[in-house]
Amino acid sequence: MVIVGGGFGGLNAARSLRRADVDITLVDKRNFHLFQPLLYQVATGGLSPANIASPIRGILRRQKNISVVLGDVVAVNPVTNTIEIHSNEPGENEPQTEFRPFDWLIVAAGATHSYFGHDDWERLAPGLKTIEDATRIRGRVFAAFEAAEQEQDLERRKELMTFVIVGGGPTGVELAGAIAELARQTLKHDFRNINPPDARIVIVDGQERMLASFTPHLSQRAEASLTRLGIELRTNTKVTAIHENCVELLTGDESARIMTRTVLWAAGVAAVPLGRTLADATGVDVDRGGRVPVQSDLSIKGFPGIFVIGDLARCLTPSGSPMPGVAPVAIQQGKYVGRLISRLLAGKPPIGAFLFRDEGSLATIGRSAAVADLGRLKFSGLFAWLLWLLIHIMSIAQFQNRMLVLFQWAWSYVTFNRSARLITESYEASEPGKKTNPKQSNEPPT
Amino acid sequence: MVIVGGGFGGLNAARSLRRADVDITLVDKRNFHLFQPLLYQVATGGLSPANIASPIRGILRRQKNISVVLGDVVAVNPVTNTIEIHSNEPGENEPQTEFRPFDWLIVAAGATHSYFGHDDWERLAPGLKTIEDATRIRGRVFAAFEAAEQEQDLERRKELMTFVIVGGGPTGVELAGAIAELARQTLKHDFRNINPPDARIVIVDGQERMLASFTPHLSQRAEASLTRLGIELRTNTKVTAIHENCVELLTGDESARIMTRTVLWAAGVAAVPLGRTLADATGVDVDRGGRVPVQSDLSIKGFPGIFVIGDLARCLTPSGSPMPGVAPVAIQQGKYVGRLISRLLAGKPPIGAFLFRDEGSLATIGRSAAVADLGRLKFSGLFAWLLWLLIHIMSIAQFQNRMLVLFQWAWSYVTFNRSARLITESYEASEPGKKTNPKQSNEPPT
């Protein structure tokens, strides 16, 4: 059998099949599993990429019924039961194509950001889904402070010290909180011409409150914490245009513009293109977010051996609303499908429909502040933050014994140190028309 | 006054001027100081970039007479006493040019790799000088194992599992030792189709022994350690050509070829181009390595206010041989110039000529093995390795309290864990003709 994707869904499916008598191939385009909920920490210099990325081979090393393949799954043929994998080989110019048969298939290829049809915004307002996105945003944020330090023109300096985050969900709120801390604490004494705490940080969201997926009361608490950090909140506001030095907004009928050189995208998510390919091949229709509709056992209608899980799946709750694209859903779906297939392989009867057990939501707003919505229990403040910390440490640690890394992380989080403040090449590479550094110019244009 | 470069030389000059009554500007193109001696650890997944890179602003935060400028010094005018700085500003396409006056100037801009006129080799055989170089090499090494796992053809699989390191100095030896450990230990159980310990690792060097700057006895010990790790040593051997899938060698009159997809360059070093610009402007001649000749007080002849230190300077020992391009020389030169200028500023008489106090050399060969040459004391083995560990930990720690990071490092070094085994974008970006990933293809060509 084949699992596509080594994220929360794919990895949990793989692990729950560890005792099944089956040869599993796990295909991912990256060689590591990424702990996405902490990606914003990399984007703001608090953690290094390797702290939240574990090699998939390392995680699955002891599971002898799995082999890992590094490659990009570009197509699924549900008639011949094969997938098409493209992979690169050092020293070869063309990607190698391989067709691999499957009896069971679990597709857990995840999501990417969506610019709602404005793909040209991607260059101006990077999103936060991959390690490279995170190091790129990190480079942009720190480069903006560097440029402000050298800028003589006061207006332009203000533009450089203005950061606009589009999207007031957990990612946007956590990112804004981390940038605020960076400006107000970490960088406080680092500059001579500018005063980093003066940085202006704005969150723009189309809905009427931040963290709209939480209860109104918790949103209120979150908004209060954000305001305390000096973050401006623009609710009911849409982005209508993004330019090199400003972003145009629309609140109701009123348009406005914020002069800024750094716009970060934490708004839309869309399933990866493989979703549409798979839907076309199996005769189903993707939803607006590009997700593949699945049945209550997470298989595609008419294809009992093909399952879709995680951000790529459109799975309905008993009340008929689609499940959110969050890690707990993917984890539980992965475990469910793994268990289901194990039973079927062992000749046992299938289990009932997949039911998402919502253990609640958490979001941090900077240091020592968070909101928690655990069903009946809703609270905010230091205790919510400690819970958030505990859960995240536990979740990472389940894959590898990296307590030491986590001590470092907890330590640098509790103090104000952010040691990973590097501006690296991937930042420059994404800036068109920029002077390339001498090393790059030695290389032939690629 | 102006200091160009935030490496070992520039930073030590800055710090020894901390009590001087002078306004100092330190210009560097990167926002961090890089601890280059451990770069090979990043290249082999043992450390994260941020573990060996400290933000320059953070290091100098408390030194109020310094301001840090992020920019590229492209020219020095010794007549008008100005330097020309290019810097990028987010949202601007053209680099900004600034002319900045100086009374005193310390140029410590360092070195880059040299391909001895074969600049086309750079793409095929990346060198190891920057953080990006290290993540690129890391990507190549891990991608080679990944591709070997998927390769059916046994000859090609052998090519993919062959690693050739050009240069048998400390960098080459340390890199080879780390790759050997990676293959023999870290990755041992990670693959299903290949046996990583079978990887072939070859060091090629033009001289008659490894570590030619050490004594013959220590070279012998090092060679014995390398051989124990299963590394092939090809001494008296020159590289005559590098291709996508092989490297051509010449040993005496005998030519040979090694089939490989991964060639790493640890051979030549050359001063950065600013050296030649500076030499032309001051009427001196750079040496073959592009270094600027300096007088015994490290100033350029005829320009008592312009000093050159570190890898960029050609400074002769009393016996007339040029000082080596190693960190201890740069550190001592930085301190010397700082002290000299402090005295001159205070109206005190100058100090005598710069004398390099050689505290010895150390090189590691994989886990628990090293050679140490401390003048009269020469030894190898576990004790040399512990000394190496201690000195490196002390040297990093002098800049920042990062004992916790170092615990992590020491821990993962003593165990066989290498957690930073990430293949990231910069690896792919350096491969011409490769399929770009979907994210990149959304961006306009840059």
pLDDT, tens digit, for every residue of B261-293? 999 999 988 999 999 999 999 999 999 999 999
- Lookup result for tokens 């006129």: B117
Reading phi first (left if > 0) and then psi (alpha if -120 to 50, else beta), residue A264 is in: beta
pLDDT value, residue B428: 43
Domain contains B441? no
* ipTM score for this prediction: 0.84
CA distance B419 to A366: 27
- More confident position, B367 or A397: B367
Shared domain for B77 and B132, answered yes or no, is: no
Closest approach of B140 to chain A, Cα-based (Å): 7
- Lookup result for tokens 């709209």: A212
Shared domain for B210 and B279, answered yes or no, is: no
Report the chain B residue with the minimal C-alpha distance to residue A136.
B425
pLDDT value, residue B268: 83
Which residues does chain A have within 8 Å of residue B185's beta carbon, measured at their own beta carbons? none
Annotation marks residue A174 as catalytic: yes
pTM: 0.88
As a whole number, mean pLDDT of residues A76-105 equals: 91
Which among B95, B143, B273 is the nearest to A438, CB-wise? B273
CA distance A434 to B444: 13
Please say which residue of A287, A313, A345 terminates a domain. A345
Domain contains B148? yes
Which residues does chain A have within 8 Å of residue B423's beta carbon, measured at their own beta carbons? 30-32, 70
Shared domain for B187 and B336, answered yes or no, is: no
What is the token pair recorded at B120? 């086309």
Tens of pLDDT, residues A166-225: 999 999 999 999 999 899 988 989 999 999 999 999 999 999 999 998 889 899 999 999
Query: What are the backbone angles phi and psi of residue B55, rounded to the nearest 5°?
Result: -60, 130
Quick one: which of A310, A418, A408 has its CA closest to A367?
A418
Domain contains B251? yes
Residue type, A263: V
Domain contains A385? yes
Domain contains A192? yes
pLDDT value, residue B437: 36
pLDDT value, residue A444: 35
Residues in Cβ contact with B378 at an 8 Å cutoff, skipping those fewer than 6 apart: B215, B217, B218, B371, B372
Reading phi first (left if > 0) and then psi (alpha if -120 to 50, else beta), residue B91 is in: left
> A155 and chain B: CB distance < 8 Å anywhere?
no
Closest approach of A30 to chain B, Cα-based (Å): 7
Which among A90, A187, A428 is the nearest to B143, CB-wise? A90
CB A88 to CB B142 under 8 A? no
As a whole number, mean pLDDT of residues A142-151 equals: 94
Tens of pLDDT, residues B11-66: 999 999 999 999 999 999 999 999 888 899 889 988 888 878 888 998 898 899 99
Residue type, A238: K
Domains identified in chain A, total number:
2
Residues 325-364 of B with CB under 8 A from A: none
Quick count: other Cβ atoms within 10 Å of Cβ B156?
Answer: 18
Q: Which helix (H) or strand (E) holds A329?
A: helix A327-345
Shared domain for B222 and B321, answered yes or no, is: no
Shared domain for A127 and A83, answered yes or no, is: no
CB B408 to CB A408 under 8 A? yes
What is the token pair recorded at B122? 């750079």
Which residues does chain A have within 8 Å of residue B89's beta carbon, measured at their own beta carbons? 147, 150-151, 160, 261
A&B contacts, CB < 8 Å: 254
What is the token pair recorded at B295? 């007088």
CA distance B183 to B189: 10
CA distance B264 to B248: 14
Which among B61, B67, B245 is the nearest to A91, CB-wise? B245
Closest approach of B76 to chain A, Cα-based (Å): 18
As a whole number, mean pLDDT of residues B423-427 equals: 65
- More confident position, A418 or B242: B242
Quick one: which of B177, B263, B162, B161 has its CA closest to B228?
B177
CB B29 to CB A262 under 8 A? no
CA distance A94 to B70: 39
> B65 and chain A: CB distance < 8 Å anywhere?
no
Sign of the Cα pseudo-torsion (B187, B192, B197, B198, in order): negative
Tens of pLDDT, residues A387-401: 887 787 777 654 444
- The answer to whether residue B445 scores a pLDDT higher than 50 is no
CB B96 to CB A150 under 8 A? yes
Please say which residue of B345, B380, B395 terminates a domain. B345
Closest approach of B183 to chain A, Cα-based (Å): 14
Shared domain for A300 and A401, answered yes or no, is: no
> A65 and chain B: CB distance < 8 Å anywhere?
no
Shared domain for A253 and A229, answered yes or no, is: yes
CB B150 to CB A71 under 8 A? yes
Distances (CA, A) of A360 to A267, A377, B431: 21, 9, 44
Residue type, A125: A
> B422 and chain A: CB distance < 8 Å anywhere?
yes
CA distance A215 to A224: 14
Distances (CA, A) of B235 to A41, A437, B171, B248, B261: 47, 35, 16, 14, 21
Query: Mutation test of the interface with chain A: which of B400, B408, B414, choosing the one with the most A Cβ atoms within 10 A?
Result: B408
Report the chain A residue with the minimal C-alpha distance to residue B425.
A132
> A84 and chain B: CB distance < 8 Å anywhere?
no
CB B160 to CB A122 under 8 A? no
Q: What b-and-e string marks burial along B270-292, b requiring 16 or more CB atoms within 10 Å of the CB?
A: bbbebbbbbbebbebebeebbbb
As a whole number, mean pLDDT of residues A415-434 equals: 56
Which among A93, A407, A433 is the nearest to B404, CB-wise? A407
Alpha helices per DSSP H over A61-203: 121-124, 131-150, 154-160, 170-181
Q: Which of A174, A181, A232, A244 is catalytic?
A: A174
As a whole number, mean pLDDT of residues A417-427 equals: 68
> A151 and chain B: CB distance < 8 Å anywhere?
yes
Closest approach of A428 to chain B, Cα-based (Å): 9
Shared domain for A125 and A221, answered yes or no, is: yes
Closest approach of B408 to chain A, Cα-based (Å): 6
pLDDT value, residue B416: 58
Shared domain for A338 and A383, answered yes or no, is: no
Query: Mutation test of the interface with chain B: which of A421, A436, A440, choosing the one with the most B Cβ atoms within 10 A?
Result: A421
CA distance A238 to A209: 13
For position B207, which CATH number holds? 3.50.50.100
Closest approach of B255 to chain A, Cα-based (Å): 22
Q: Which of A77-91, A424-438, B220-234 has the lowest mean pLDDT?
A: A424-438
Which residues does chain A have within 8 Å of residue B90's beta carbon, measured at their own beta carbons? 140, 143-144, 147, 160, 261-262, 431
Task: Identify whether the C-beta of residue B168 lies closer than 8 Å to the C-beta of residue B191.
Answer: no
Give strand pairing partners of A371: A363, A380
What is the token pair recorded at B431? 């491969």
Q: What b-and-e string marks burial along A30-69, b requiring 16 or more CB atoms within 10 Å of the CB?
A: bbbbbbbbbbbbbbbbbbbbbbbbbbbbbbbbebeebbbb
Active-site residue list of B: 174
CB A57 to CB B29 under 8 A? no
As a whole number, mean pLDDT of residues B230-257 equals: 96
Distances (CA, A) of A21 to A9, A17, A33, A341: 20, 8, 24, 11
Which residues does chain B have within 8 Å of residue A161's beta carbon, measured at their own beta carbons? none
Task: Identify whether the C-beta of residue B138 lies closer than 8 Å to the C-beta of residue B44.
Answer: yes
For position B75, which CATH number holds? 3.50.50.60
Tens of pLDDT, residues A106-140: 999 999 989 988 999 999 999 999 999 999 999 99
Domain contains B442? no
Shared domain for A236 and A286, answered yes or no, is: no
Residue type, A287: D
Domain contains A436? no
- The answer to whether residue A415 scores a pLDDT higher than 60 is no
Q: What's the 3-state SS for chain B? A: CEEECCCHHHHHHHHHCCCCCCCEEEEECCCEEECHHHHHHHHCCCCCHHHHEEEHHHHHCCCCCEEEEECEEEEEECCCCEEEEEECCCCCCCCEEEEEECCCEEECCCEEEECCCCCCHHHHCCECCCHHHHHHHHHHHHHHHHHHHHCCCHHHHHHHCEEEEECCCHHHHHHHHHHHHHHHHHCCCCCCCCCHHHCEEEEECCCCCCCCCCCHHHHHHHHHHHHHCCEEEECCEEEEEECCCEEEEEECCEEEEEECCEEEECCEEEECCHHHHHHHHHCCCCCCCCCEECCCCCEECCEEEEEECHHHEECECCCCCECCCCHHHHHHHHHHHHHHHHHHHCCCCCCCCCCCCCCCEEEECCCCCEEEEECCEEEECHHHHHHHHHHHHHHHHCCCCCHHHHHHHHHHHHCCCCCCCCCCHHHHHCCCCCCCCHHHHHCCCC
Confidence tier at A442 by pLDDT (50, 70, 90)? very low
Which residues does chain A have within 8 Å of residue B420's beta carbon, measured at their own beta carbons? 48-50
Domain contains B183? yes
Mean of the per-residue pLDDT values of chain B: 88
Mean of the per-residue pLDDT values of chain A: 88
Confidence tier at B442 by pLDDT (50, 70, 90)? very low
CA distance B433 to B446: 15
Shared domain for A151 and A189, answered yes or no, is: yes
pLDDT value, residue B207: 95
Quick one: which of B163, B191, B123, B142 has its CA closest to B261?
B163
Residues in Cβ contact with A254 at an 8 Å cutoff, skipping those fewer than 6 apart: none
Shared domain for B280 and B133, answered yes or no, is: no
As a whole number, mean pLDDT of residues B156-176 equals: 95
Q: Which domain holds residue B89?
A: 2-29+71-110+272-345
CA distance A96 to A89: 7
Report the chain B residue with the minimal C-alpha distance to residue A47.
B50
Kindly report the length of chain B: 446
